[in-house]
Structure 1
Amino acid sequence: MLKSIKSNGVTAVLDHDGFNKRIRVVHYDGAIEKALPEIVAAAKEEEAEKIIVYAKQHDETGLAKQLFAPEGFLKGYYLGHPACVMVRYLTENRRQTDSYVKEHEMIEALYRTAPRLRSENKPDFTIRKAEANDMYQLSMLYKKVFRTYPTPVFDPAYIEQTMNENTIYYVMFDHDSLISAASADINPELGHAEITDCAVLPEYRGCSLTSFLIEALEKEMAEQEIFNVFSLARAASFGMNAVLYHSGYQYGGRLINNCYISEGLENMNIWCKHL
């Protein structure tokens, strides 16, 4: 849910994510530090546990003084200029992780392995844009692939709702069976899109099927004149770059840019296992 605030000459666009108990400042104009009291107040009112700011380079130092810490970077986020993803935790529990060392060990091990070369031959499966009546098969796919997930993708009604709210799904079928899917959450006001909800059934893994779905999503984004596409995941910094690269998906000449990664090990396991 997007909300705009104006305070002390600053305009900021806030995305309230109630399911994940966080507020994201996805865009702003002016000196962001001047709007922080109102942003923090809005977060506490919504009982958010975390504030995320997509910070412009010249604001990183000022935000660091206000207890924000960097968690990643997004190339080209602000009309070709990078954004630093900076966070401030409002609760102690949200900040803690029991798997910090394990996260880094997983990513280091991934970088030590040779990247997979993706075949240029498209898989012999049907790839198309998802329709509303696919929501039941999509929910079943996510139930089979994910033990947990940060959004309620196990609920067909939620998937249908997102389809009606600027989320595009691409799906892959083996005859009538849905075997893989990926989606893009579009922010039409800002011209951004996030690649998310990627899943492949266990018996079809190891063929970089996700990369073909992401490629189809990127073409769709380009047709809609959306040229800043990124992926968010929850694990140690820049691990997603390694995961996508080693699964045969490389960034050269494509829209998708660097990834912001934070908060826990579960989804990094998902990406490592399910591409």
Structure 2
Amino acid sequence: MITEFVFIPIFAIAAGVAQSLQYLNRYHVIREPPEHILNRLPSSASALACSAHALNLIEKRTLDHEEMKALNREVIEYFKEHVNPGFLEYRKSVTAGGDYGAVEWQAGSLNTLVDTQGQEFIDCLGGFGIFNVGHRNPVVVSAVQNQLAKQPLHSQELLDPLRAMLAKTLAALTPGKLKYSFFCNSGTESVEAALKLAKAYQSPRGKFTFIATSGAFHGKSLGALSATAKSTFRKPFMPLLAGLPSCAVWQYRSHAHGS
């Protein structure tokens, strides 16, 4: 059910785009575009069919052998053509026999995953922290189901009670005067927010330099990447933000303690 919470909005957007195209054509908002533009317009029928196929896959609990093979082919093809072929090759490099990476199908337990071939994996990564209470934890599943039945997402306009309650909970857990929360979608976004918050406070005081430790990883958006050490990530986007020298951890600690 957690998977449904993640994917349904995405495919609802795809279906909405397709329906919008149908609307535009019906009312002749798009009037005989040049051929080269027409050829690049997405097919609304194709988008709707793909969305329906994905929603059908979410509803299925089991697949037969042929369906599993077809799913594997689809996933590899769509990653290659529409997500990132480099990411696909990376997964290929860490798979036994040089084959493409395993296609996940479902959680086997709180701490295991099962792929489309029936192989079970112990999940030592935990989605970089998003599964810190395990896969399909019944308490989480129940809470998500109840909230989906009530209201899937907040309106962005009215005050949502759960955000206020979570902020209050975090304030009770954090030390000292840390009492405000800024909620983000990712670690990278939180680093960007932290950089901006620091600049907003320190720039009027004439302080403009950040220090990042050598070997650090903070994300791949422009500000976060400026504090990330790995040259492979940094090189295509140089020059990055100024005022971000790096130093070893021991040097930072030595200066911080005045030694």
Q: TM-score, normalised by structure 2?
A: 0.21
Higher helix share: 2
Structure of greater relative contact order (alpha carbons < 8 Å, 6+ residues apart): 1
Higher strand share: 1
